[in-house]
């Protein structure tokens, strides 16, 4: 154990640098000057070490002899033997997919990688997913649709102060991620404008140049309304749109129905403020749009984010210094945790599990026949919803997640956990989920292990060991390695983080999230390395999408991760959020049509769902002018 170690706070995606000092069994936190936090920490970081020696830490495995019996301390041998017996019994009875694995966005990259390999190679099950699906996956999906690649921020935090205008949507960073606010403060001191979109007057909103107090669930209307104004006021970057994007005309047609008065009616944001926001963004030479859980954690989350990405593309504020769209990821390894194989549809390095070339590459790295790697499984909620049902998972292994607290419809999912034949939970406390387990495994915490994390910027950083684990706690890597051996896995399962990372680098090589050139030594020397980094002499990629940046998909055709190298506009249509329940939609339609009739705009009611080709066909049949003409009319 080191007396002092430079490491990172475990909690959120900023991954603030901190120093841990161990003296006489006590661990103290000191702030550290790292490029993300620049010496700052929030209360969560300052108190992070208090949980290391907490009296309620799990120190031995716990085992339930039968359903209804209490959990009792057990040896590791008893616990591991029971797990292997139950896995084999379940798979013999119900098939390989009857055993499932559930991971988390707080696991290190090494753990997330080994967990994915454990599921596919040791268990040979397709049923693996993780709690990141409940976090910012709307932004991930939108990023993939628009840019072909999903990385939280496509630029370093250090770019923020140079942006002349920033639209920050649905983030209260001032309270959830306080050290990051220094970048926004400097941006404002530099004369930049910060526009915050939030239904509440949060401390972040109060610090803004302009606060757009949006009605929850109406983000798509706001994004489209700002695009409408950008078009009307002549802020389009036509050269960028023509050279770097596709799909603008369809997006333009779709936003034709988001005139300011209507958007004010939907969003509750006064027309004057909408115009002011559009002008701040449109007149700035550099601008960014950042989203967080506000617009993302909605039934229409993908559409919401796409509407804001359309705005960024239309203004030509992408792929240039101090510009772009970014998502402020949440969990500590919310970024890296979704790159290396713990998702149901994915293999390491952002490879796809249904792509034959990708499967062949990973099979070669793992040393198993490609045919033995299962296909795509169910995503998180779908897997949890089917627990204990015919065709569903009957034995579940949970690592780094407290499902009972964090899953949607948590009470329902708790019921599904009770329907399982067998549940294993690896955790450092007896969480609400662990209380349901048949076997609980005590695992190490952040300061008791090493491994890499990838922060919201795509910067791969190193977590270092600075304290001993209490009692018999073991790292998840050791647990997975031991279980894989006992299950007779064909591939090797290293139990130490450096060996796993070496294998992860090989597995990710050539993928979109390429870590091949990243080493622990480089991470320390360079204060983190940004992926993609395809070789040890590559500098890493702080800014994605710049001309000439490394891109294995476009291969020189352009900066975006599509074969033609161009970004995509996506039609995004506002519909009332499902969260509001039935009845709201008809009330809204009535209100909008009344307003439209009063304004003499008889057509607007009919065209609220312009994205729907069937509707367009009907409109044309009944004699309305083609949609494109209407759009031209609006923006004439
Ligand atoms: Fe930890 Fe995030 Fe707080 Fe930094 S901002 S100290 S990473 S919780």
pLDDT of 25 reads: 74
Residue 33 CA, ligand 1 centroid: distance in Å: 13
Whose Cα sits closest to atom 3 in ligand 1?
42
Residues 261-277: tens digit of each pLDDT: 999 999 999 999 999 99
How many helices (H) and strands (E) the chain has is answered by 24, 22
* Residue matched to tokens 């108190």: 47
- DSSP code for 635: H
Whose Cα sits closest to atom 5 in ligand 1?
177
User: Taking the C-alpha atoms of 581, 586, 589 and 593 in order, what is their torsion angle to the nearest 10 degrees?
Assistant: -160
Strand partners, 20: 5, 29
- DSSP code for 338: G
Q: Give the separation between CA 565 and CA 557, rounded to whole angstroms.
A: 5
pLDDT of 26 reads: 84
Within 11-101, where are the H helices? 43-46, 76-94
State if residue 11 touches ligand 1 by the CB under 6 angstroms criterion: yes
Which tokens is 35 given? 């490029």
pLDDT of 597 reads: 53
Cα angle at 228 between 225 and 232, to 5 degrees? 140
CA distances to 134, 162, 234 from 315, rounded to whole Å, are: 31, 17, 10
Within 233-355, where are the H helices? 238-244, 248-254, 260-267, 271-283, 293-296, 301-314
Question: Do 7 and 18 contact (CB within 8 A), yes or no?
Answer: yes
Torsions phi, psi of 17, nearest 5? -75, 135
Residues 444-464: tens digit of each pLDDT: 999 999 999 999 999 999 999
Dihedral class, residue 350 (left if φ above 0, else alpha if ψ from -120 to 50, else beta): left
Q: Indicate whether this model's pTM tops 0.85.
A: yes
Residue 108 CA, ligand 1 centroid: distance in Å: 16
Q: Nearest-CA neighbor of 316 among 377, 237, 217, 401?
A: 237
pLDDT of 583 reads: 52
Residues 508-557: tens digit of each pLDDT: 999 999 999 999 999 999 999 999 999 999 999 999 999 888 899 999 99
For 534, half-sphere exposure in the C-beta direction (CA atoms, 13 angstrom radius) is 7
Residue 234 CA, ligand 1 centroid: distance in Å: 41
Q: Angle formed by the axes of helices 301-314 and 137-147, to 10°?
A: 40
Neighbours of 623 (CB within 10 A): 6
State if residue 331 touches ligand 1 by the CB under 6 angstroms criterion: no
Question: Do 531 and 510 contact (CB within 8 A), yes or no?
Answer: no
pLDDT of 610 reads: 40
Residue 461 CA, ligand 1 centroid: distance in Å: 14
Rounded to 5, what percent of the chain is helix, strand, coil? 40, 15, 45
Q: Which atom belonging to ligand 1 lies closest to the Cα atom of 332?
A: 7
Q: Give the separation between CA 570 and CA 195, rounded to whole angstroms.
A: 24
Mark the ranges of the chain whose per-residue pLDDT is less than 50: 602-636
Distance of CA 130 to the CA centre of its chain: 11
Q: Give the separation between CA 484 and CA 117, rounded to whole angstroms.
A: 10
């Amino acid at each position: 154990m080191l007396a002092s170690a430079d490491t990172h706070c475990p909690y959120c995606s900023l991954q603030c640098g901190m120093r841990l000092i161990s003296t006489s069994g006590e661990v103290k936190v000191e702030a550290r000057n790292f490029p993300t936090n620049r010496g700052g920490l929030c209360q969560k970081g300052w108190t992070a070490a208090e949980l290391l020696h907490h009296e309620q830490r799990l120190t031995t495995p716990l085992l339930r002899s039968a359903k209804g019996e209490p959990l009792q301390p057990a040896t590791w041998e008893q616990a591991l033997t029971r797990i292997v017996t139950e896995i084999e019994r379940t798979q013999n009875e119900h098939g390989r997919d009857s055993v499932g694995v559930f991971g988390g966005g707080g696991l290190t990259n090494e753990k997330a990688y080994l967990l994915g390999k454990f599921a596919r190679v040791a268990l040979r099950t397709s049923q693996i997913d993780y709690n990141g699906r409940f976090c910012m996956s709307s932004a991930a999906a939108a990023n993939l649709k628009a840019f072909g690649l999903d990385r939280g921020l496509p630029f370093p935090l250090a770019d923020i102060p140079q942006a002349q205008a920033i639209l920050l949507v649905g983030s209260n960073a001032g309270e959830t991620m306080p050290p990051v606010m220094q970048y926004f403060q400097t941006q404002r001191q530099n004369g930049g404008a910060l526009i915050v979109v939030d239904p509440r007057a949060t401390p972040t909103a109060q610090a803004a140049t302009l606060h757009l107090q949006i009605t929850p669930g109406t983000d798509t209307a706001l994004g489209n309304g700002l695009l409408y104004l950008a078009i009307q006021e002549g802020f389009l970057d036509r050269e960028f749109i023509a050279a770097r994007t596709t799909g603008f005309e369809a997006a333009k047609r779709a936003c034709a129905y988001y005139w300011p008065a209507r958007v004010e009616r939907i969003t509750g944001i006064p027309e004057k403020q909408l115009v002011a926001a559009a002008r701040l963004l449109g007149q700035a030479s550099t601008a960014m749009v950042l989203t967080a859980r506000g617009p993302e954690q909605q039934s229409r989350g993908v559409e919401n984010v796409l509407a804001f990405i359309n705005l960024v593309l239309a203004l030509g504020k992408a792929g240039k210094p101090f510009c772009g769209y970014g998502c402020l990821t949440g969990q500590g390894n919310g970024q890296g945790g979704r790159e290396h194989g713990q998702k149901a549809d994915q293999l390491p390095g952002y490879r796809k599990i249904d792509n034959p070339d990708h499967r062949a590459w990973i099979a070669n790295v793992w040393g198993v026949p490609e045919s033995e790697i299962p296909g795509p499984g169910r995503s998180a909620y779908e897997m949890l919803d089917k627990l204990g049902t015919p065709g569903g998972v009957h034995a579940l292994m949970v690592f780094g997640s407290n499902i009972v607290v964090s899953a949607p419809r948590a009470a329902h999912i708790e019921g599904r956990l009770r329907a399982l034949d067998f549940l294993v939970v690896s955790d450092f406390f007896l969480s609400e989920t662990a209380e349901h387990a048949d076997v609980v495994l005590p695992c190490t915490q952040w300061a008791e292990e090493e491994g890499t994390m990838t922060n919201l910027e795509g910067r791969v950083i190193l977590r270092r060991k600075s304290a001993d684990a209490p009692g018999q706690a073991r790292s998840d890597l050791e647990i997975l390695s031991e279980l894989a051996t006992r299950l007779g896995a064909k591939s090797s399962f290293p139990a130490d983080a450096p060996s796993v990372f070496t294998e992860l680098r090989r597995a990710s090589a050539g993928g979109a999230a390429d870590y091949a050139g990243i080493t622990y030594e480089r991470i320390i020397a360079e204060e983190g390395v940004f992926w993609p980094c395809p070789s040890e002499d590559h500098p890493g990629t702080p800014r994605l999408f710049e001309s000439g940046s490394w891109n294995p998909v476009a291969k020189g055709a352009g900066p975006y991760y599509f074969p033609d190298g161009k970004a995509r506009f996506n039609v995004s249509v506002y519909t009332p959020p499902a969260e509001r329940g039935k009845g709201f939609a008809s009330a809204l339609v009535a209100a909008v049509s009344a307003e439209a009739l009063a304004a003499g705009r008889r057509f607007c009611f009919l065209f609220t769902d312009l994205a729907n080709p069937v509707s367009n066909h009907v409109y044309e049949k009944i004699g309305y002018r083609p949609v494109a003409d209407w759009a031209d009319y609006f923006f004439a």
